């Protein structure tokens, strides 16, 4: 099989890239190792920055998002039993965020791809990317029990942290920057209306807590737990009790409890692979970078990557200049490192390090007091949360 752009991975990055290329009249093939049901059900991110929302709308993939997504004009910080709202539009020139789950983004993009007839192969496991240094890279993959070859002009690896795309880089051709955090998130989905109409980020002496949502009737909540925690050690009642302690306030706010439908533990790490390109292979999304989920940046960074690639390829086709493709890695990494910085600072601001001293605890609280008492400091957080420019 032959195509212009071979896309490895049908998460939101790969699917959105295929849609953007379709709109530019560029053919592509998407290879996904899992089946469609898995892709449409795996729980990941749920917060879309203003830039991501705009991209989905412009790509013709925003109709259901606009009907069902929940626009949020603020977030709430909690510490010392007090509440402080960050007004995003007032601090960012009108930008906001939208709660719309990654599962729903994938469903919308899959439906559009299949309606348009573009090749989207589920159960197609990429084995290797070959010839990245040539003008005819290839992807070897296994599909329906047969080994196949996809010949391309370009390959974009959207296959995540454990995918095969990054293996293409020869020794010494790439550098990794990373940090592993000594804690994790225990997350639950619960069939209960959210206890607040906006996201709540809580710093507590017992650890961080987050009140989020997936819809008006489904809550998504998280607790900071030690790294390596076994989710089976946490009963539903214990989780709700701990959430109640960490989210407590001095007013009449109360946490709503309901049936827990899913539990998981998410490790916390920061990871960046530089560069994000080798020959005609381009890395995008988690294949190139991981952020701790505190700043809600992962999916949004992936969107920025594929938008950058699609625009660069359109520029090449329109002008004959490869300047923007050649600058792909540097362009993406400027935004990636700002998001890494923001996510790191949010994580350090709200989580209690198990080795923290009383002095460090007081510094953390002083930083929160500064943000909630200074408009410039509050604005810096709001601008980072609402999202950095795509280019």
Domain ranges of the chain: 5-72+97-177+269-346, 181-267+354-386
| Domain 5-72+97-177+269-346 coded CATH 1.10.10.10 | no
- Of 100, 201, 222, 328, the catalytic one is 201
Decide: 288 and 305 in contact? Cβ < 8 Å: yes
Q: Answer yes or no: 315 catalytic.
A: no
Q: Answer yes or no: 154 catalytic.
A: no
CATH number, span 181-267+354-386 = 3.30.9.10
Q: Answer yes or no: 297 catalytic.
A: yes
- Parallel/antiparallel/unpaired status of strands 97-99 and 47-49: antiparallel
Question: CATH topology of 5-72+97-177+269-346 equal to that of 181-267+354-386?
Answer: no
pLDDT tens profile 242-274 = 999 999 999 999 999 999 999 999 999 999 999
| pLDDT above 80 for 44 | no
pLDDT band at 388 (very low <50, low <70, confident <90, very high): confident
The pTM (predicted TM-score) of the whole model is 0.94
With a pLDDT cut of 90, the percent of the chain lying above it is 95
pLDDT tens profile 80-137 = 999 999 999 999 999 999 999 999 999 999 999 999 988 999 999 999 999 999 999 9
Query: What distance in Å separates the CA atoms of residue 54 and residue 320, rounded to the nearest whole number?
Result: 28
pLDDT band at 390 (very low <50, low <70, confident <90, very high): confident
Average pLDDT over residues 214-234: 95
Average pLDDT over residues 308-314: 98
| pLDDT above 90 for 237 | yes
Query: What distance in Å separates the CA atoms of residue 200 and residue 42, rounded to the nearest whole number?
Result: 23
Rounded to a whole number of angstroms, the CA Rg of the chain reads: 21
| pLDDT above 90 for 73 | yes
Query: What distance in Å separates the CA atoms of residue 49 and residue 240, rounded to the nearest whole number?
Result: 29
Query: What distance in Å separates the CA atoms of residue 57 and residue 70, rounded to the nearest whole number?
Result: 15
| pLDDT above 80 for 45 | no
Q: What is the mean pLDDT of the chain?
A: 96
- Of 141, 292, 293, 328, the catalytic one is 293
Query: What distance in Å separates the CA atoms of residue 168 and residue 133, rounded to the nearest whole number?
Result: 10
Decide: 263 and 319 in contact? Cβ < 8 Å: no
Average pLDDT over residues 199-208: 97
- Nearest C-alpha neighbor of 304 from the set 329, 322, 279, 321: 329
Average pLDDT over residues 55-68: 97
Residues 6+ positions from 369 with CB-CB distance below 8 Å = none
Q: Answer yes or no: 385 catalytic.
A: yes
Average pLDDT over residues 171-188: 94
Q: What angle do CA 64, 67, 70 make, to 5 degrees?
A: 110
| pLDDT above 70 for 391 | no
At residue 71, what are phi and psi to the nearest 5 degrees?
-70, 135
Burial class (CB in 10 A: 0-12, 13-18, 19+), 172: exposed
Of 35-49, 172-186, 237-251, 373-387, the poorest mean pLDDT is in 35-49
Average pLDDT over residues 306-321: 97
């Amino acid at each position: 099989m032959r195509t212009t752009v071979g896309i490895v991975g049908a998460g939101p990055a790969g699917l959105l890239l295929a849609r953007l290329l379709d709109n530019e009249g560029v053919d592509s093939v998407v290879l996904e190792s899992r089946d469609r049901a898995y892709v449409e059900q795996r729980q990941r991110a749920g917060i879309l920055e203003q830039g991501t929302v705009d991209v989905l709308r412009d790509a013709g993939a925003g109709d259901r998002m606009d009907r069902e997504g929940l626009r949020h004009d603020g977030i709430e910080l909690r510490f010392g039993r007090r509440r402080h709202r960050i007004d995003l539009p007032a601090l960012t020139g009108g930008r906001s965020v939208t709660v719309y789950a990654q599962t729903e983004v994938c469903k919308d993009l899959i439906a559009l791809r299949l309606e348009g007839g573009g090749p989207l192969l589920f159960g197609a496991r990429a084995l290797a990317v070959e010839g990245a240094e040539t003008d005819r890279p290839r992807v070897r993959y296994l599909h329906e029990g047969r080994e196949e070859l996809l010949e391309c002009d370009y390959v974009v690896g959207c296959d995540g942290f454990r995918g095969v795309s990054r293996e293409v880089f020869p020794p010494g051709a790439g550098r990794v920057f990373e940090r592993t955090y000594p804690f994790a998130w225990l997350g639950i989905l619960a069939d209960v209306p959210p206890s607040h109409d906006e996201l709540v980020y809580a710093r507590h002496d017992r650890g961080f807590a987050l009140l989020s949502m997936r819809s008006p009737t489904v809550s998504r909540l998280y607790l900071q737990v030690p790294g390596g925690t076994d989710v089976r050690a946490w009963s539903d009642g214990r989780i709700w009790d701990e959430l109640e302690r960490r989210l407590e306030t001095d007013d009449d706010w109360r946490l709503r409890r309901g049936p827990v439908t899913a539990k998981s533990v998410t490790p916390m790490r920061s990871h960046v692979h530089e560069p994000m390109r080798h020959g005609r292979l381009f890395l995008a999304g988690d294949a190139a970078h991981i952020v701790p989920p505190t700043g809600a940046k992962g999916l949004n960074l992936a969107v920025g990557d594929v938008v950058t690639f699609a625009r660069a390829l359109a520029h090449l086709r329109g002008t004959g200049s490869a300047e923007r493709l050649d600058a792909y890695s540097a362009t993406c990494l400027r935004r990636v490192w700002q998001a890494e910085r923001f996510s790191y600072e949010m994580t350090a601001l709200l989580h209690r390090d198990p080795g923290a001293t009383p002095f460090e605890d007081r510094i953390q609280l002083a930083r929160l007091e500064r943000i909630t008492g200074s408009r410039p400091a509050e604005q810096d957080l709001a601008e980072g949360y609402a999202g950095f420019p795509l280019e």
